[in-house]
């Protein structure tokens, strides 16, 4: 799953997030000009993952609350 369009990268060395001007296999950090610490940042997927986890927690609390009210 590789999307060349608007691919975000994050530099693990200086925590700088950027979009490389040239979509290559080896994007360079514009801040510290390292290539080995640069990783693709997929924060949108991560964010929706966190939301899904919270939804599960809230759903469980909701069900527990209903069960408490019904069986009390
Ligand atoms: Zn950097």
- pLDDT (tens digit per residue) in 35-70: 999 988 876 666 778 889 999 999 999 999 999 999
Is the same domain home to 31 and 48?
no
Is the same domain home to 30 and 53?
no
For 14-44, write each residue's pLDDT tens digit. Answer: 999 999 887 667 899 999 999 999 988 876 6
Q: Indicate whether 1 pLDDT > 60.
A: no
Is the same domain home to 31 and 21?
yes
Q: Is the pTM above the cut of 0.75?
A: no
Which protein residues have their CB within 5 A of the ion that is ligand 1?
Answer: 11, 13-14, 16, 29, 31-32
Is the same domain home to 27 and 52?
no
Number of domains forming the structure of the chain: 2
Is the same domain home to 8 and 34?
yes
Is the same domain home to 50 and 32?
no
- CA 28–ligand 1 middle distance (angstroms): 8
Rounded distance between C-alpha atoms, residue 59 and residue 41, angstroms: 29
Give the pLDDT confidence score for residue 23 in this predicted structure.
63
Domain that holds residue 50: 42-72
CA nearest neighbour of 34 among 8, 51, 14, 63? 14
- CA 17–ligand 1 middle distance (angstroms): 8
């Amino acid at each position: 799953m590789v999307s060349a369009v608007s691919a975000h990268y994050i530099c693990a060395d200086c925590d700088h997030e950027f979009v490389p001007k040239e979509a290559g296999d080896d994007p360079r950090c514009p801040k510290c000009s390292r290539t080995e610490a640069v990783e693709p940042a997929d924060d949108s997927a991560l964010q929706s993952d966190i939301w899904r986890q919270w939804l599960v927690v809230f759903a469980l609390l909701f069900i527990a609350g209903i069960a408490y009210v019904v069986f009390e």
